[in-house]
Structure 1
């Protein structure tokens, strides 16, 4: 019994040590004018081995839109594409990191799609040309996507030095940019990051729906 108690004590002590050294990052992502940016991806790369995470994710289709609009995953993730609409969709991508097509369907396809190469994958629907979504596939250990207030939190990030990468669908040529190096202390870090984006064009006439996927794809093809 004494041996069991000692073993449990060692396990609890080890777990406490792990969490005691874990810090975290609370980030705000803004554009050049200081306006919060939603759907911005932030990744961290450091010397510490990344945590084990589930390599499964969902990219839904609701109200004739991809949900979420931007999904960030680690390389090697299997993504399911459920269709929650009452109409059928045909999802596809011509992007170099992952070319695929899911024929016209409703519900959830039986087999997920493996995203095994890093990069930006632009998603479209052959039936609804105005549908547009993005999958950001990264090799970096920690990553997240900003909410409608431009904020995101990366929990349990060990204290240390990290290289930051930023990406947004409206970034010039849709390329990721460096966010510099940061030092995360044991107590965690709060920091603002800025990324230049192109005008959304809200004040100009909308482009024909058929150009939405094509324009996004051609931007991503410059990678």
Structure 2
């Protein structure tokens, strides 16, 4: 009886997995700003049917051309994040955000140990040497998430059909707080869903590199020494 029961459980599990795989769909999320323009670097997270098991999660926040790359990184809670430095100068990365406080003192290459991001929230990154360097890590408990590309688009594959609740975030949202993106139903055939964020991104919103000068030269020298 025990063997028959075990076989039945395994068979039922396989049938459920097959059915779930067959109903997996693709979501194309399109995010627009208050002027109706595609919004890059917007985070979309979704809560709904159970997502894939979250274990052994890893991500990377690089530093390239004296900027954080990507500018916005979204990760699930429990993710180990590396901070490689691809520049030929040293950086000193830090965060004072409640979700993750840390400091990586002046370094080149890649620190040997990644940092664990185990608390949901927005983590603002800076560099003590280069004040214009600002980056963001959005840590979420939601099983489905991502960041829009330069066209304001995010594609998520293998999502179960069902009912979802969306949350949106962008560095220019009011008080840098996430906002509701509403609810929608995902059909088995997939869906293209439009989202709107009440933000207006300007060139001045992003810190720029300083013009060459004695002050900038001093920082440049410190980064190389």
TM-score (norm 1): 0.83
For 1:24-39, what aligned pairs fall within 5 Å after superposition? 24-39=26-41
Count of residues paired in the alignment: 200
Runs of 4+ in structure 1 off by over 3 angstroms are 10-16, 206-209
Distance 2:95 2:20 in 1: 40
User: Which secondary structure does the structure 2 equivalent of 1:170 belong to?
Assistant: coil
* 2:22 matched residue in structure 1: 20
* 1:112 matched residue in structure 2: 114
Tell me which of 58, 81, 89 is aligned to 1:79.
81
Tell me which of 177, 184, 188 is aligned to 1:182.
184
Asked whether the equivalents of residues 172 and 198 of structure 1 are also in contact (C-alpha less than 8 Å), the reply is no
Distance 1:96 1:12 in 2: 43
Q: Aligned-pair distance for 1:198?
A: 4.0
Distance 1:38 1:17 in 2: 35
* 2:218 matched residue in structure 1: none
User: Which secondary structure does the structure 2 equivalent of 1:85 belong to?
Assistant: coil
Q: Aligned-pair distance for 1:63?
A: 0.3
- Segments of 5+ residues of structure 1 without an aligned counterpart are 1-9, 210-223
1:106-139 residue CA offsets vs partner (Å, 9 max, x unmatched):
0000110111100000000011010000000000
User: Which secondary structure does the structure 1 equivalent of 2:188 belong to?
Assistant: coil
Tell me which of 154, 172, 197 is aligned to 1:195.
197
Question: Could you say which structure has the larger radius of gyration?
Answer: 2
Asked whether the equivalents of residues 170 and 200 of structure 1 are also in contact (C-alpha less than 8 Å), the reply is no
Asked whether the equivalents of residues 55 and 77 of structure 1 are also in contact (C-alpha less than 8 Å), the reply is yes
* 1:51 matched residue in structure 2: 52
Q: Aligned-pair distance for 1:12?
A: 8.0
- Segments of 5+ residues of structure 2 without an aligned counterpart are 1-10, 211-225
Q: Aligned-pair distance for 1:52?
A: 2.4
* 1:153 matched residue in structure 2: 155
TM-score (norm 2): 0.82
Asked whether the equivalents of residues 34 and 200 of structure 2 are also in contact (C-alpha less than 8 Å), the reply is no
Asked whether the equivalents of residues 24 and 159 of structure 1 are also in contact (C-alpha less than 8 Å), the reply is no
CA RMSD, 1 decimal: 2.3
Cα pair distance change 1:27/1:199, threshold 3 Å: closer
User: Which secondary structure does the structure 1 equivalent of 2:110 belong to?
Assistant: coil
* 1:97 matched residue in structure 2: 99
